[in-house]
A and B are shown apart, each in its own frame.
Chain A
Amino acid sequence: MIEILETPPLNAIQDLGRLGYRCHGVGRGGAMDRVALAAANALLGNDENAAGIELQLFPVRVRFAGDTVFALTGADCEARLDGRLLPPWWAMSAQAGQELVLSPPRQGLRAYLAVAGGIDVPEVMGSRSTQMRDGFGGLDGRALAAGDRLAAFPAPAFALRDGAGLGALPASLALAAADCPQAQPGETVLRVIQAAEYEQFDAASQAALWQTPWKVTAQSNRQGYRLAGVALQRLEPVEMRSHGIVPGVIQVPPSGQPIIQLADGNSAGGYPKIGVVIEADLWRIAQAAPGSALRFVSCTLEEARTAERAVAAYLGTLRRLAGYCRLPSLGKVA
């Protein structure tokens, strides 16, 4: 059991999202940084899709109401358990009554808190993730608030071999971003596959997409990131019919300033698509803060698949190594 003592709005329960409900207009939703959530679950031996808490605004203070093991991944929030500083991407035991405090991130944007067994909320349309816009999933379809008490599913009791806990190599160190010689330090490099309307853009716009930085504006959230940079122009303005879109789609509205649709983005849209950020790089956007810049690198389907396999291998290795660090806790067998 976790009790929320303090939280700003917009922090909510998420899993890896909904599949199979697009015919009702329901998109994937779920964690913005799917790799970080999956890694937190891997550290605990949870199902990869177990629900955790996505933290996007800070400070956050929670109290563990019972003994458990928890994992924190994603942004480095100087987490302290009863005042003791934890390394980022870390799992350890907590005793009943202990308090966990997270501060505004030193690096990254979104942190993920998972507990052994996963957060116990009802599945709605195959997922426990919170769809705030439509008010379902997670905890009654809403963000967490002080006073909320969250239960975890029962899990086989275990202890960590090392009382200090165990860590994971953060995804940003384990998974290489694409090469981009012109990228400046701190810029987020994303692999992009050209989309159906790429050829409709003029040569200067196509060149700008790959060669100039794209500033993440303050109008960036779970729905999408609005970017600022060179205005992208089509050769001819042609009306589009509304069509299904996926997280990662880079739409170009008539202003020429692109929008990347993300986890809570619309499931359909009518703006032309110049490209799509590959699935394996979406987590990098989740950690790119407003004010920072993105760089796009053209990518083939084969390169995308290689990147996707690297993510799967990273999570698989993490799950295996974490398994060695757990001991069945005989003392807790009823």
Chain B
Amino acid sequence: MGKAYKYGDNVDTDVIIPARYLNLIEPADLSKHAMEDIDADFVRTVKPGDVIVAGSNFGSGSSREQAPIVLKESGLAAVIAPSFARIFYRNAFNIGFPILESREAASAIEAGDEIEIDFAGGVIANRTKGETYQAEPLPEFMRGLIESGGLVDYVKARR
């Protein structure tokens, strides 16, 4: 369980991790700057299990895998949004960071709400409001990718 951070539409990879820090490679170094151009308090206040709830087209812009990496490294449990930019979506699965598509959850959840997620069933529970929301089911291929341990293990098994 964790609290929700709430952001708007089109949260882009340049605010998730600004390009000026992409000269760093260690996730621990990069994550000190997560979200800083949109929310200067994020890094100071985020706790393991917290979630980001955002508007449509989350993760738009660059292909930098450092974007889902810094969110994962920050301890976030997941990002919930009505839709994700396609490279971010792909990168998140490849590195094993959960993202959930739910228009209902994205509009109902407010900043600070306590959120608990059942990943197996795709059920998002809002403990503050006493509501639950169903996330879009994952395509079978994406489930398989997660079950095989992400893309690294998927590729390793096929070489």
Do A and B bind?
A: no
